[in-house]
Structure 1
Amino acid sequence: MVRILLDEVEINLKEKEDFSWLKNYGKVFCVFDQQDSGNICFGVDDGENKKFIKYAGAKTINYKGDLEEAINRLKKSVKIYEDLQHDNLIKLIEHFQINNGYALIFEWVNGDNLHPHWKFNTYEKHNNINSPYFKHKHMNMKNRIESINKIFEFHKYVEEKGYVAIDLYDGSIMYDDKNHVTKICDIDLYNKGYLVNETGEEFWGSKRFKSPEEKTKSMIIDNKTNVYNLGALAFGLLGGELDRSFEKWEVDEKLYNIALKAVSEKKEDRYNSVLDFYNDWIRESRNYI
């Protein structure tokens, strides 16, 4: 392992990498080097504006795949961010090839990731008062529902644009608890149209949010898969996550039944579309807003 110091911020990589180009964007004030995606991310500040920079090309500690694949995935994600521009999504400013890799520059988003695994283990995530997830779970219900509705609103738009969300989980969400702003921060793997699960259990995604088809080889991943993902997200933010009992659910039975239908094991028992799920959810959630 190699340790690199950038503006007093330490980075851990498998091999040395030249990040001198980051100086063009200001001072590095934070780094996210623990992802398993093959990307490394930075927060930089030029004194006037902060930016979020995502780079593929460095040999990160937790990535086990091919480096060229990581670079190509990030390149392909540019069109996804451009196609799915939305108020609830982080904004891509520019992108370019640098050294042997590729970089995406985004506007900085204030707030915290709801699944900061590099800071909090599973127990701490759910019990530490400083955990962003814990804070989100202990806000007043109006703010919680409004935050969740922003996530669902964006994914209704994703469906409208003909895309399917891949690797959607609480680590894809940023929340600013001071200004009550919710942003989706990672759509790198979203796909235009349906696709086939060619890797079985190894398909992208968190086990906490994956549908049966995301665990089974040769199954179709489509908008009904996203209905499941959004229902699972509702249980993660309003209930007992994988314990989907009503006893763990924090809002009313009508919303519980909507979420429960969304996470039906069989596709035919779920909502036919994200739009149908969204419309039912929004109608019943108005009581809390």
Structure 2
Amino acid sequence: TEQYDGNPKDAILRLKAAVPVYQTLRHPNLIEFIKAEDIQNGFACVFKWADGECMGRMYPASRQRFMAMRTDTKLNVFRDILSFFEYIAVSGYVAIDFYDGSIMYDFKNGRTTICDIDFFRKQPCINDMGRMWGSSRFMSPEEFEHGATLDEITNVYTIGALAFALFSDYSRTREAWTLRDELYQIAFKAVSDDRNKRQQSIRQFIEEWEANMGGSGQAPTCFCGHDCSRCLTYLATVNNSDELRRQSQQFYKDTFGHDIPLTEIHCLGGRSDDIFYLCRDCPRRKCAKEKRLSACSDCAEYPCKPLAEYQARWVNKCNQMGGTNR
């Protein structure tokens, strides 16, 4: 960058070393690597452009919008991060210099993008610097200890720190935590200074996290009981995205053979924090509006027969789709 005051040759060598990392760790949420080439006296990597707001503190306005996201959207972002970290663990890599500035979210398309993985290393990996690259908020004790082993357990600490960044604005106190207590305990275990007390793999962290989802930390589910977090219609609704509505519209056309007006592409019944997002033709939509209720579940007559019939109709369709219109 323009502010770089080191030896350009060192920068070129580091960038060249990053190329196989991006080539090997291709993932749906990783920024797409296109090519690398020599240019005059330098070297360039080309990536596909990705829209998004960055979580990093170096972009205050972007971070403010990112942190103001709904809890269920943040949970979706965290699931994407967990998916990527499990993938790099299986691929035999360890994340170095991964922090909040590596995470972007595209509000229009409901997409998480991960970038800046230049310093990821193939295992086995030993701390050869003393203080490794990275933000201290996300670094385990072994990343400050020369000669220490850096491995999957190191990255358990990283994802625990990311959980606190997302759900308690970096604070590790129970008072600041916005999800249920069981999830706090899982994240707190992950950031233990004693690596033997952490979860011993990313998979173990994921299993503990998913087993304790519920209450304020529960992913929205459709009437049929399927997780809505990857449903195009749900994402289009909560993110108010016309692009996702068009994708969902095409899915309905391919699946059922008929067109649905774009204005009718609305979540079929995902529930989160006692709020129902109902399809426009729901018989209770008008009722809830007339009674000035924020959700059908607030009504003394809930669940009524018309709503039950409506739910049953969409349960059948959702099951025909395999639970989600991805």
Per the alignment, residue 252 of structure 1 pairs with 180
Quote the offset at 1:99 in angstroms. 1.1
- For 1:156, the equivalent position in structure 2 comes to 86
2:202 matches 1:271: no
Asked whether the 8 Å contact 1:194–1:223 carries over to 2, the reply is no
Q: CA deviation at 1:64?
A: 4.2
**Once the 2 structures are TM-superposed, how far is the Cα of residue 132 of structure 1 from its aligned partner?**
2.3
What amino acid is aligned across from residue 237 of structure 1 in structure 2? L
SS in 2 for 1:255: helix
Match of 2:31 in 1: 90
| 1:79 corresponds to 2:20 | yes
Task: Name segments (4+ residues, structure 1) moved above 4 Å.
Answer: none
Identity %: 40
- SS class of match (1:208): helix
The 1:214/1:65 distance shift into structure 2, 3 A limit, reads: farther
Deviations 1:234-284, CA, capped at 9 Å, x for gaps: 10111141x301001011111111101100101100011111112222333
Instruction: List runs of 5+ in structure 1 lacking aligned partners.
Output: 1-39, 41-59, 126-130
SS of residue in 1 equivalent to 2:104: strand
Match runs of 1:1-289 below 5 Å: 40=1, 60-61=2-3, 63-115=4-56, 117=58, 120=59, 125=60, 131-201=61-131, 203-241=132-170, 243-285=171-213, 287-289=218-220
Cα 1:97/1:285, change in 2 over 3 Å: farther
Once residues 99 and 124 of structure 2 are traced to their aligned partners in structure 1, the CA distance between those partners, rounded to angstroms, is 19
CA shift, 1:172, in A, is 0.6
SS state at 2:187 partner:
helix
Point out where structure 2 has 5 or more consecutive residues left out of the alignment: 221-326
Structure number with bigger Rg: 2
The structure in which a higher percent of residues are strand is 1
Quick one: distance in 1 between partners of 2:72 and 2:211?
14
User: Aligned in 2, Cα 1:210/1:64: closer, same or farther, shift over 3 Å?
Assistant: farther
For 1:71 and 1:223, locate their aligned partners in 2 and report how far apart those are by CA, in whole Å: 28
| C-alpha RMSD of the superposition | 1.5
What is the SS of the residue equivalent to 2:44? Answer: strand
Q: How many angstroms apart in 2 are the aligned matches of 1:283 and 1:157? A: 20
TM-score (normalised: structure 1): 0.72
